[in-house]
Amino acid sequence: MTWLRQNAREAIAALALVVLFAAYIAIHPRGFSTYVVTIWSNDGTLLGLAAIAQFFVVLVKGIDLSVGSVVALTNVVASFVLNGSPASIALGMVAVLAVGVACGLVNGIAVVYGRVQPIVTTLATGGMFSGIALLLRPTPGGSIDETMSDALTYAVAGIPVSAIVLVVVLVALLVLLRRTAVGLGLYGVGSSEQSAYMTGLRVNRLKLFAYASSGFIAALAGIYVSMVTLTGDPNIGPSYTLNSIAAVVLGGVALSGGVGSPIGAVIGALILKTISSLMFFSGLPPLAQPFFEGLILATAIALGALGVFRVRSRLELYR
Amino acid sequence: MADRYVELKSVSKSYGGVPALTKVDFRCEPGRVHAILGENGAGKSTLMKLLAGVIQPDSGTISIGGQTVRFSSPREAAEQGTVCMFQELSLMPHLSVGDNIVLAAPRTRMGLVERGVYREAREALDLVGASSIPLGARVSGLSLSERQLVEIAKAVFRKPKLLILDEATSALTSELVETVFGVLRMLKAQGVAILFISHRMHEVDAIADRISVFRNGRHIETFDVGARTTDQIVGLMIGRSLEELFPPRRPPVPDTTPAVLDVSDVSWQSQLVNVSLAARAGEIVGLGGLDAQGQQQIMHAVFGVLRGVTGRIELNGKRLNGLQPPRLKQSDIGLALVPEDRKTEGLIPSMSVALNMRLAALGRAPFGLLDLNGNSDARLRQLIERLALTYGSLEDPVATLSGGNQQKVVLAKWLVLSPKCLLLMDPTRGIDLGTKAQIYRLLTDLAAEGMAVILQSTDYEELIHLCDRVYVFYRGSVAKELKGDQLSADALIAASMNVHLHARAQMS
């Protein structure tokens, strides 16, 4: 029970996801099948990874408007290096991840040492990252190793590989966040930077680590995009940025920092994906779909904000 | 170990030109509890922050065991064995109790935090008498006293060589204080040097070996416990007699005068229980008690900040229940509240002095238009003079003023509305003596002009020498009302714990 109370936001989000997913399967012409679930899982994993990237920055009280740009840039880089011999693909992976971490570190350094607001920093760097992606590949193209793509985007024994990948990433992150001093420190810094400093935590290093982790996970998303689309596309950024923010909010991650988990972020992302897929098969006129998509999203967020009515001191509302 | 004393030589520190510590020489020894006494603003907190590495001295040296040290962060200080428990709690609210304690000094194996560390955290909690607090509980859900216990457990867990306690026991009941003192005596026997800051003289008497008095950023005197009487110590702390600080007593307001503010049977959550109190025109009514016993909440309840308040709140016969600040400040009601934290609730620090002063009056102007040269500005100028506000230009951001002058701006912004009832929450906290005396004089004058003043204060002297009557709060209700000759430090302290002693007598 205590667990439920402490994770109420995530539990509500998970419930909403189950309901939406059931509705989606119910109206999908092909019903519950490996094919449908695999497509859903692949799409969900893309946004899920972007949401985890956003989560790391939000955890330390930031907001990252460059998540999509990092996804786009790493996707473009991947389209150059993820082919050839297994060794060169492996090397390419390392290179793509390094690019992601570098992007995150640039953000982190500007925020931590430059003392620039995260929203402004990442707006600017986001522009730079997409700019580099455009310079590298003005139009979508490139080639990706197809064997690898197949292996990562199909299903094994009825379970989508993307879902397995996502679960592995989540488990690794949960161990990091809940069982290591660094992970707990990230929550500490996000919860109260001053208290964390007084406790003797290395606040600056921890924040840098959060931004670098965000870049790393965004690069994973970039790699996965290339697995799904088999190309590098410099223009995919914007939708990932905004949806990743919506996803973390839906998943119960507090924009004020220190609260939430990557699981919540992923659940939020899956909700968003399910809503848009639902719209696609809903039979609603295409022009009306964005309205209903927004309506469902607004309802979900409003449900999560019901806690406001429990606040007994109005002073709390303005803190 | 015996040579591990801490010594400050000629240490000075100032903030933006305002000196906080001036040429302080100070020394404390291992295996002793050393109490630091002084008023708010005497420099105690600055001294602690210097020792804990939060700030660095402008000049002078700090040495430990004869070796000069210079800590650039609390982390470095902690590595050298200096652990500080601050008044502003250093707990991370969204983390669990266990994580908060463990993070202070994490031990890891292959990157993972060792499970055994949590066992030690548990032991530390049990030791300080917090066995009822589960390791998994989130700090944000704990009460203030529980947080203090966690904070103490966290400090003990780090195995300090110099332990600094800054008002560490202010929210604890006397039983818990006794448990904590037991731990301190144990640490003392192990050779830990302990610096103890508290406003409660009886606690200092109970635990300290030596006392140092600070005043206006200077180290005044150090002596063994028992070498001075309490009166002498108070004299050293304030540097002048109480008569100079407080204006002469006013004649008592007759009991037949009808009440301006009438609060009856007010309850809220579990934090206010059937509170009834009244304030007549011309009275200064004090609200006292230990920290967080409901004194603050009743102020918020009256000022319409709290939701779900039951009971009756009336001002001059007008029912106030359900009304919120924008309505309460209108002239037909005339209520004003000077909040506890002037930086976040009283002022908008980046806005100019002039704008801050006009802020409360904004809602009163017709159509919200600013009446820049009208009556209100003339009144403001009078108030500035009356308050003896010291400022560079009225267009400077209010944050550039000293604490005392900032508080005067908060007072001015409400007084310009000529309220009928003025609620003040600890208005002299962290303010220098000169300004304190001015504020006391002002409050006395306002009462003499017929305002009903309600003064919530953590300063016993204020309650005794300024107030006509004092309501002492305990666990959300009024434990006792003291007036006239009953108003003494002993009576206040007794009343603050009265109910509690009674309860213990019942239990045994």
Check if the beta carbon of residue B467 is closer than 8 Å to that of residue B286. yes
Query: For the CA atoms of B273, B278, B284, B288, what is the dihedral angle to 10 degrees?
Result: -10
Instruction: Count up the domains in chain B and report the number.
Output: 3
Q: What is the pLDDT of residue A266?
A: 97
Q: With b meaning 16 or more CB within 10 Å and e meaning fewer, what string describes A140-170?
A: eebebbeebbeebbebeeeebbbbebbeebb
CB within 8 Å: A199 and B92: yes
Q: Which amino acid is at B354?
A: A
Return phi, psi of residue B280, to 5°. -95, 165
CA gap B62, B76 in Å, rounded: 14
* DSSP state for residue B342 in the 8-state scheme: I
Q: Tell me: do B185 and B254 sit in the same domain.
A: no
Q: Who's near B381: CB < 8 A, 6+ residues apart?
A: none
* H or E stretch covering B454: strand B452-456
Asked if residue A88 is part of any domain, the answer here is yes
Interface of B with A (CB under 8 A): 54, 73-75, 78-79, 84, 86, 88-95, 99-100, 102-106, 108, 111-113, 136, 138, 154, 268-269, 300, 304-308, 324, 345
**Cα–Cα dist B45/B39, whole Å:** 11
What radius of gyration do chain A's Cα atoms show?
20
Residue A5: predicted pLDDT: 66
Residue B293 lies in a domain: yes
With respect to residue A305, please indicate whether it lies within any of the assigned structural domains: no
The secondary element (H helix, E strand) that includes residue B49 is helix B44-51
A-interface mutation test, from B92, B142, B340, B343, most A Cβ less than 10 A away = B92
- All residues of chain A having their beta carbon less than 8 Å from the beta carbon of residue B103 are 181, 184-185, 188, 199, 201
- Closest Cα partner for A165 from A213, A104, A227, A212? A227
The boundaries of the domain holding residue B226 are 6-241
Q: Count how many domains chain A has.
A: 1
CA-atom Rg of chain B in angstroms = 24
Choose the final residue of a domain: B241, B262, B288: B241
Which chain A residues are closer than 8 Å to B106 by Cβ? Answer: 181, 184
How large is the angle between the packed helices B144-157 and B97-104, nearest 10 degrees? 30
B495 token code pair: 């009343």
For residue B467, what are the CA distances in angstroms to B251, B435, B438? Answer: 11, 18, 16
Place of tokens 């022009």: A287
- The C-alpha atoms of residue B457 and residue B461 are separated, in whole angstroms, by 9
3-state SS, residue B485: helix
- Asked, for residue B341, whether it belongs to a domain, the answer is no
Partnered with residue B108 across adjacent β-strands are B113
Answer whether residue A24 is part of any domain. no
Domain boundary among B368, B401, B418: B418
Specify if B233 maps to a domain.
yes
Respond yes or no on whether ipTM tops 0.90.
Answer: no
Q: Is A216 domain-assigned?
A: yes
What does residue B175 show for φ and ψ, rounded to 5 degrees? Answer: -65, -45
Supply the CATH number for residue A160's domain: 1.10.3470
- Give backbone dihedrals phi and psi of A113, rounded to 5 degrees, phi first: -95, -30
**Strand, coil or helix: what is B171?**
coil
Q: Which residues contact B445 (CB under 8 A, 6 or more apart)?
A: none
> Same domain for B195 and B311?
no
Is B108–A191 a contact, with Cβ atoms under 8 angstroms apart? no
Residues B255, B319, single domain; the answer is: yes
Given A2, A181, A199, which is nearest B113 (Cβ)? A181
In a domain, B361, yes or no: yes
Helices (H), A159-260: 161-179, 181-191, 193-198, 203-229, 237-250
Which residues, 6+ apart, have CB-to-CB distance to A205 below 8 Å? none
Chain A residues touching B138 at Cβ < 8 A: 6
Nearest neighbour of B74 by CB, restricted to A191, A197, A314: A197
Q: Is B340 contained in some domain?
A: no
Q: Are residues B218 and B363 in the same domain?
A: no
| pLDDT by position in tens, chain B (length 508) | 446 688 999 999 987 667 888 899 998 889 999 999 887 668 888 898 899 898 999 999 999 888 898 999 999 998 888 998 876 678 998 899 999 999 888 877 777 888 889 999 999 999 998 888 999 998 988 877 888 899 999 999 999 999 999 888 777 777 788 889 999 999 999 999 999 987 777 788 889 999 999 988 889 999 999 888 877 887 788 776 666 778 888 888 888 899 999 999 999 988 899 999 999 999 999 999 877 789 999 999 999 999 999 999 999 999 999 999 988 988 889 999 999 888 788 899 888 988 898 888 776 666 555 555 556 677 788 889 999 888 888 888 888 887 888 999 999 999 988 999 999 998 987 777 778 889 999 999 999 999 999 999 887 888 998 999 999 998 899 999 998 888 887 788 788 875 444 444 443 3
B364 half-sphere exposure, CB direction, 13 A CA radius: 22
SS3 label, residue B333: coil
Average confidence (pLDDT) over A226-254: 91
Task: Domain of residue A265: give its range.
Answer: 33-300
Residue A315 included in any domain: no
Q: Which residues contact A38 (CB under 8 A, 6 or more apart)?
A: A153, A154, A155, A160, A162
The answer to the question of residue A306 being in a domain is: no
Separation CA A138–CA B385 (nearest Å): 69
User: Is B262 inside any structural domain?
Assistant: yes
Report how far residue B377's alpha carbon sits from residue A137's, in angstroms, rounded to the nearest whole number.
Answer: 64
Q: What is the pLDDT of residues B227-251, one digit of tens each?
A: 888 778 877 887 766 667 788 888 8
Determine the residue type at A53: A
Where does a domain end: B188, B207, B241?
A: B241
Say yes or no: B35 and B169 in one domain: yes
Asked whether residue A138 is domain-assigned, the answer is: yes
DSSP SS3 for B386: helix
pLDDT value for B239: 73
Are B28 and B151 found together in one domain? Answer: yes
Distance CA B114, CA B51 (A): 30
B233 and B249 housed in the same domain: no
**Are residue B226 and residue B298 in the same domain, yes or no?**
no
